[in-house]
Structure 1
């Protein structure tokens, strides 16, 4: 049986556009749920006057808007701002809020590049490959941090290649996969590169027949690339 949550606050007529994820939020519960499950996409800049006005005018929570404004003016930390939103609804237990606080503290101890990669990975997983690619490129424009190791940069280049595959920029994807292999020659990355090369040459990998998605698709690079391509084409038609 599915769980149903009764919203404590009213539903917004005008949604709050969450720029970090490219999504519209129609309730405080929806925003809180998103922040809790995608904390790496949150950033201090989102707690601005636009959010406060939405809370006042659309959600009817002047008190929460006031707390956020006062917190910003007094220099409260990012963790408290997030908890003020997530803790304002009846979705999470005290234990879950405490665990979220620990996650936020952990993020605060990471290198900037690590935080950016978590954010980029979250965007990529939520199908926002354009924004994800920009975050990966942002990491690569920064001075290379030797403390992070070659595996970190191999993963960044690999994931940027995946972004380009989803955008049909296959030649760029090939370059990214090749660079990733220079850092760490993983077998999956090699397969991604070969398949991206075929796509760049106008060849469709495999026999060209559609196959049903199965659990094995998650570990088969060829099926992954084909699924990404088909998914992207579908979204382009309906977008």
Structure 2
């Protein structure tokens, strides 16, 4: 996303509408771009006779169409068809195709909500913390919760806490880790709660979500804090936090921040 791709192949007179993505494409390059940008949203809605006919009649891709038809008849595997299209286009390096194959392999058998979480997880792993945070917030909307297990909700809350912590929003991070523990009962969430609280001013109030802390968890956290505090990086992080707090008043700006995240996230998916 955010890169310029030169379309060199044939352009269709009539576009193909990718229903599940709400996108119209005119070229093979545009189709590949739409697939690559929305891997985590691919489903059965976009593959089938209409796509096969469009590729063959509008773009003249008879060989590719034959391979797609054969593959789809055998396995009904949407991801396999996506890989065939990307590979046949010639636009991608071997390394990039390998990365895409790994992502698609992890997605097989996942529910739609799990795949959407994987997209936010991908942003988190790429250090695009605002995009990750908005992805998690979107998943946590009330209308989505009925499609999730408690464990999945806990995983989303935990990772939202990680995104907040990376943005130096440690109070919000602590709240998310505490909420995550209420769902998943994970020691990792409790441990991360303690870590985030280490950066929260004493006068800040979190509410009623604080998890019960077992002695073993407290002992491990204390051991880790002692180890970390002996490292220069700890003080560099504390200085970054202090500088961030002095240069920008986060309190009272949550709604502005959320609107900016939404705008940035939507721009990335254009």
Determine the C-alpha separation between the residues in 1 that align with 2:67 and 2:150: 38
Whether the aligned pair in 1 keeps the contact of 2:7 and 2:29 (CA below 8 Å) is: no
Determine the C-alpha separation between the residues in 1 that align with 2:145 and 2:112: 12
**SS of the residue aligned with 1:85?**
helix
**1:86 equivalent in alignment to 2:86:** yes
Instruction: Tell me: CA distance 1:77–1:138, structure 2 relative to 1, closer, same or farther (3 Å).
Output: farther
Which residue number in structure 2 is paired with residue 30 of structure 1? 30
Determine the C-alpha separation between the residues in 2 that align with 1:44 and 1:98: 23
Unaligned runs of 5+ in 2: 123-130, 161-174, 182-192, 198-246, 264-270
Q: How many residues align?
A: 181
Which residue number in structure 2 is paired with residue 224 of structure 1? 257
Q: CA-atom RMSD, angstroms?
A: 4.7
**SS of the residue aligned with 1:88?**
helix
Correspondences of 1:160-175 after superposition (within 5 Å): none
User: In the TM superposition, what is the alpha-carbon distance from 1:98 to its structure 2 partner?
Assistant: 1.5
The two structures have a TM-score, normalised by structure 2, of: 0.50
Whether the aligned pair in 1 keeps the contact of 2:117 and 2:139 (CA below 8 Å) is: no
**1:152 equivalent in alignment to 2:156:** yes
Instruction: Tell me: CA distance 1:116–1:136, structure 2 relative to 1, closer, same or farther (3 Å).
Output: farther
* More moved, 83-92 vs 38-47: 38-47
Instruction: Tell me: CA distance 1:50–1:153, structure 2 relative to 1, closer, same or farther (3 Å).
Output: farther
**1:47 equivalent in alignment to 2:47:** yes
The two structures have a TM-score, normalised by structure 1, of: 0.55
1:10-43 Cα offsets, whole Å, 9 max, x none, are 1112111122222211111111122123211212
Determine the C-alpha separation between the residues in 2 that align with 1:6 and 1:111: 34
Determine the C-alpha separation between the residues in 2 that align with 1:53 and 1:110: 29
Unaligned runs of 5+ in 1: 157-177, 188-215, 232-239
Correspondences of 1:1-239 after superposition (within 5 Å): 5-7=6-8, 9-75=9-75, 77-108=77-108, 110=110, 113-118=113-118, 139-142=144-147, 144-146=149-151, 148=152, 150-152=154-156, 221-222=253-254, 223-225=256-258, 227=260
Whether the aligned pair in 2 keeps the contact of 1:120 and 1:136 (CA below 8 Å) is: no
Instruction: Tell me: CA distance 1:59–1:120, structure 2 relative to 1, closer, same or farther (3 Å).
Output: farther
Instruction: Tell me: CA distance 1:88–1:3, structure 2 relative to 1, closer, same or farther (3 Å).
Output: same
Whether the aligned pair in 2 keeps the contact of 1:87 and 1:97 (CA below 8 Å) is: yes
Instruction: Tell me: CA distance 1:48–1:137, structure 2 relative to 1, closer, same or farther (3 Å).
Output: farther
